[in-house]
Structure 1
């Protein structure tokens, strides 16, 4: 391997010198056949570097065991979305009036309208005031009707909600007339739970394992989700929402870590994409159930009943063999792999199992401080935190902008959730064609475009009339909604690529902790969005979306590509940039090389799998046949061939 690395370094240095001399061959088209062979060689080389890739090949790359594992991650994702967005449907706006039932003692046969007319002050436009009432007087009904009441005060005996069609937290705990800020308190508590849960579950997942962290998060969903239906005070409701938010972020971190470490290649990408699609399905399920149920407690009862069967995960969920190896639990790792092979009806060769040995360096001492000490890890964490901060800030800003346009809560959640499914499925095509790095860049670029368009569209319903008074308000409003939807579409794809990319960039020993840290940036972005929108003009938040997205787009270019690369296991195994070489062809004298490529392509189509040795020979021949004034040195070739002979010797 050392000879091969030296050979590659010499090729890189010679390519650099050719670029400095402005060699005219560099402008010629690339050979697609050789590029395909290079990709195949990188895949073979990756499997050699990653011993778990070979083991998972023997277990079955995507057999019954892996399919079951992926399916098990879908159901909790649905319920996570269900409980995460439940707050939006339990604070249904209600119009309150002071409870003036005292007048029924002197006029028991009064209708509701007559009662309000006698005991509630009216505004100049004739509507009843919601937070004032006439004070009781020791008169009979005739005197009250004849002379009327004059002394007013705030509500003394609570409120009534005559127009309410559903029972919500508003009329359950009387969050009106100066108590509306408690609704914001619920959102703050949920954000605080996400902050603390990101840290706690990130550490738990890396210290105790993926399996215990998933079980703890599911237990939290059952206890806090089902228990919310029985709270008897608003403060207790806040406590249960605090617990639910920790469980939601805990499951997201631990499940993605488990799926990343059990699956290889594109199967890993497909699993995470599908998990996010089912998260959107959970949001749609919540919207439909919330629309049909008349009481907010029934919403949590239904969600709690659906979560209870997840207790069965205690017996059917596996642990990550990569994490077990990093913790020195070789025996347990072998047992898990053998069980997976038995489910897939495969047999692992004994020599592959014997290769699983304790790591040379102790990796169990890894801690959060390593994110500052390790340069590569620090760079990855900072860049991805910036991206996640941007995505979260932009998403909340667009969602709040939608609310300013007067859209109903059901529309604001159902339509984006429906659009998120194809948005996330599009990531499959992007990741296969251009890889993780450029997929992230493309989705961020789309978000930049939609945010720039929003700068030229009116803000809110009043802005529709002020900015373009001659244009039809309905058309402008529809255009603004469409741009907002497309922006959320792009952000949904960005989130999916982000989770996959971050999980592959982080080492196994600190993967969950790193996901927790970047989740902190997500919550910070959401908090900033809520703060800025409530205190500043509506044009500034959109402008900041553009600026932050451009910064995140620029910083994403610093990250290495992870497609066809082995997962980093320890801190010493940093993310590697794949060996990519483009072969330039001289259009005037490349007939022999083109014939070689044609022969190679013919041989390739006759066989599904090309051996590693054949791929290496093709690449070497391509480099030797390249027409340039700086051929590969004989010493490098001899050294490479010597290393190959030694590696193949018994």
Structure 2
């Protein structure tokens, strides 16, 4: 007996009672989403953290009171590219003289870690059990276990939905997930937390699945899309509310307790059967005719439809049900394995299941990686949530007009192209590829009669680096009285040596009254080096514009406007897209593939010859 055409219209269709039950079926979606996305805050690694200094690893004569906090950290913790080391400390030899040049070595953290405040919470799963460095693997393991529990919940609780019914499956899942949520609050180890979250993930899947199926079975086909989309908006509202709850709760056990409260409130559905009754469709499908008759009578009365057996004894719905099913029909329960006998349903189920699997995997990867490419957690979080909300609005406006199949293909193609584009854009995480460093020594003899007052403050930072570079020696003689005369001599050669960089910041406030006759003799050594693509810099060839000659390569990085001039013996120009013009002192190149890419180099000598 067809439920959609013969039974559903006679019990009032999508009447007021169906609408009321549908509304109550949305609240489980809110509770499930709240518990599901708490995981984002529980496992968020703080933006900065480092080892706690261990006094036992320091020299015996070291007094922390003589140092500022930052100097103390610099003395005890190694520096890396992005700041203080996350996982190592310095261990010094036991000398009493700190100023002496003593040996030191790097060792793992011994006293724990100091963390910056995670987003929203003062402490979370990571900071409480120090799941960083050697124990970092437990964080992705927790994600895997939680999602594995979600999958197992779909399989197990989906089977229970078919055997016990939608209402019983919902009440069982809600009760167990609420109890497991309370247990998570008091978990005292990472292993206990992991196992409890795995079990809770399975129960949350049962809550979502049973409420979703019951919701669809109570609706006619024209209303199913909007009913499903409204349930998604309940989930979006829960995600938008979650950061505020995290700020108010401050600690992760408190947030877990607050997220568990909606699940505990859903247990009230057990006491009030009218807000979430058993599905009449499932009762008829399993052959439970007496229960199905009572459920249909309830829906008919509450929807305002008249089901009077005495008035129309031959044409009433109950009489038709009796004639079709009989009085001695035995209950028969079904499983998903029976679908193998239906080739079309099995094929379509596999196609849709594979599509859902791929889409969910891509969404999860985007969700996790979005936080890695944005330094601001809340920006990436709300961007993801609002993007999902806009996608739901798009589906509401287009699916009924253009059909399910066309929109599914459209969004699948769009997702695939977006994934390929993001893969290409994220192959290179660029940093500054090079810098021009100059070391200058000047000797000056000046005869000056000056009256001046000068206040000067100088801050210097010096470090050394060994690499190959160009050495330019310039001798300049200047005589200045009423005119200037300059003689310059340049000689260039290449060699390798250790270069010492000095960065000086000088602040000078001067009041000067001067009568000056200056005779200056300046002798300058200028060393200029181009650092080309150091470790961690931009290595994607498309960002570099290069022109090679027999012994010289000139490159410009479009990403950072950094110029690299480097000796390249035997280099042959492979960029045939470049159009170059060489004059006596200027080299001008334009790339035909990138019309806005122009490279102009001014040379002090014209002996380089024509350009390839």
- Change in CA separation of 1:151 and 1:455 when aligned onto 2, cut-off 3 Å: closer
What is the SS of the residue equivalent to 1:461? coil
Instruction: Check whether the contact 1:326–1:359 (CA below 8 A) recurs between aligned residues.
Output: no
Of 189, 205, 220, the match for 1:249: 205
Q: 1:433 to 1:147 in 2, by over 3 A?
A: closer
**RMSD, aligned α-carbons:** 3.6
Q: Say if 2:78 and 2:89, in contact at 8 Å, map to a contact too.
A: no
Give the deviation of 1:167 after TM superposition.
Answer: 1.1
Alpha carbons 1:118, 1:148 under 8 Å: kept: no
State the partner residue of 2:362: 394
1:206 aligns with 2:162: yes
How do residues 486-497 of structure 1 correspond to structure 2 at under 5 angstroms? none
Q: CA, structure 1 residues 472+118, in 2 after alignment: closer, same or farther (shift >3 Å)?
A: closer
> Is 1:376 paired with 2:335?
no
- Aligned counterpart in structure 2 of residue 80 of structure 1, from 25, 32, 48: 32
Decide whether the 8 Å contact of 1:83 with 1:303 is kept in 2. yes
How far apart, in 2, do the equivalents of 1:303 and 1:455 lie?
35
- 1:330 and 2:306 matched: no
Query: Which residue is 2:230 aligned to?
Result: 274
- CA distance in structure 2 between the partners assigned to 1:265 and 1:121 by the alignment: 65
CA deviations over 1:112-165 (Å, ceiling 9, x no partner): 8279448724237795433334569999xx766878784653333433336778
User: Deviations for 1:468-487, whole angstroms, at most 9, x for unmatched residues?
Assistant: 4666689xxxxxxxxxxxxx
Structure 1 residues 125 and 436: CA distance shift in structure 2, 3 A: closer
* 1:452–1:151 distance in 2 versus 1, CA, 3 Å: closer
Equivalent in the alignment of 1:188: 144
Pairs within 5 Å for 1:491-530: none
Q: Following the alignment from structure 1 to structure 2, what is the Cα–Cα distance between the partners of residues 294 and 144? A: 42
Q: CA deviation at 1:319?
A: 0.6
When residues 450 and 367 of structure 1 are mapped into structure 2, their CA distance, relative to the original with a 3 A threshold, is: same
Give the drift of 1:276. Answer: 1.7
What aligned pairs does 1:163-312 form with structure 2 within 5 A after superposition?
A: 166-290=122-246, 293-312=249-268
Normalising by structure 1, we get a TM-score of 0.58
- Residue by residue over 1:489-518, the C-alpha shift from the partner in whole angstroms, topping out at 9 and shown as x without a partner, is xxxxxxxxxxxxxxxxxxxxxxxxxxxxxx
Do 2:57 and 2:91's aligned partners in 1 also have CA atoms closer than 8 Å? no
Per the normalisation by structure 2, the TM-score is: 0.61
1:225/1:279 CA distance change after superposition, 3 Å: same
| 1:435 and 2:399 aligned | no
Q: Secondary structure, in 3 states, of the residue corresponding to 2:430?
A: helix
The Cα of 1:457 is off from its aligned counterpart by 4.1
Q: Which runs of 5+ in 1 are unaligned?
A: 1-48, 475-650
Maintained 8 Å contact 1:98/1:130: no
220 and 407 in structure 1: CA distance in 2 versus 1, 3 angstrom threshold: farther
Aligned length: 424
Partner in structure 2 of residue 123 of structure 1: 79
Post-superposition Cα deviations, 1:573-602, rounded to whole Å, max 9, x if no partner, equal: xxxxxxxxxxxxxxxxxxxxxxxxxxxxxx
SS at match of 1:85: helix
Residue by residue, what CA displacement relative to the aligned partner does 1:417-440 show, whole Å, maximum 9, x if unpaired?
A: 223223223323333223333333
Unpaired runs of 5+ residues, structure 2, are 310-315, 432-536, 545-556, 562-612
Q: Are positions 1:89 and 2:57 aligned together?
A: no
Per mean C-alpha deviation after superposition, the further-off stretch among 250-259 and 399-408 is 399-408
CA distance in 1, matches of 2:74, 2:229: 60
**Corresponding residue of 1:4:** none
Partner of 1:96, secondary structure, is strand
For the 8 Å contact 1:118–1:145, the answer to whether it is kept is: no
Question: Deviations along 1:268-327, whole A, 9 cap, x unmatched?
Answer: 222112112222222222234335543222221221223321111112311111111122
Task: Answer 1 or 2: higher relative contact order, Cα 8 Å, separation at least 6.
Answer: 1
Would the alpha carbon gap of residues 70 and 366 (structure 1) be closer, same or farther in structure 2, given more than 3 Å must change? closer
State the Cα deviation string for residues 336-364 of structure 1 (Å, max 9, x = none). Answer: 22222333333234311222246589782
Residue 98 (str. 1) matches residue 63 (str. 2) = no
User: How far apart, in 2, do the equivalents of 1:211 and 1:278 lie?
Assistant: 21
Question: Which shifted more, 401-410 or 166-175?
Answer: 401-410
Alignment pair present for 1:132 and 2:84: no
Q: Is contact 1:175-1:183 (8 Å) kept?
A: yes
Q: Cα deviation per residue 1:220-267 (whole Å; 9 max; x = unaligned)?
A: 331223332221111111112102211222222212211121111212
Partners of 2:401 and 2:202 lie apart in 1 by: 36
Structure 1 Cα separation of the partners of residues 168 and 87 of structure 2: 50
Map 1:633-648; keep pairs closer than 5 Å: none
What does residue 301 of structure 2 align with? 342
The answer on whether the counterparts of 2:288 and 2:331 sit within 8 Å (CA) in structure 1 is no
Task: Give the Cα separation in 1 of the matches to 2:427 and 2:248.
Answer: 32
Change (3 A) 1:107 1:72: farther
